[in-house]
Amino acid sequence: METRINKLLNFFQRLGKAVMTSIAVLTGAALDITAFFGVRHGYSFSAGLIDYLLNLNLAEKSVELLLVGIIIGIVYFIIFYFFNNKI
End-to-end Cα distance, the chain: 15
Contact 86, 17 (CB under 8 A): no
**Number of domains composing the chain:** 1
Does 7 map to a domain?
Answer: no
Q: How far apart are CA 18 and CA 87, in angstroms?
A: 13
Does 38 map to a domain?
Answer: yes
Q: Which domain holds residue 81?
A: 15-86
Q: What is the pLDDT of residue 3?
A: 61
Does 3 map to a domain?
Answer: no
pLDDT tens for the chain, 87 residues long, are 556 667 777 767 777 778 788 889 988 988 888 889 888 777 666 667 777 787 777 777 878 888 888 888 899 899 888 877 765
Does 72 map to a domain?
Answer: yes
Does 42 map to a domain?
Answer: yes
Does 8 map to a domain?
Answer: no
Other CB atoms within 10 Å distance of the CB of residue 59:
15
Give the pTM. Answer: 0.65
Q: What is the pLDDT of residue 87?
A: 57
Q: What is the pLDDT of residue 61?
A: 81
CA angle at residue 82 from 79 to 84, to 5 degrees? 110
Does 40 map to a domain?
Answer: yes
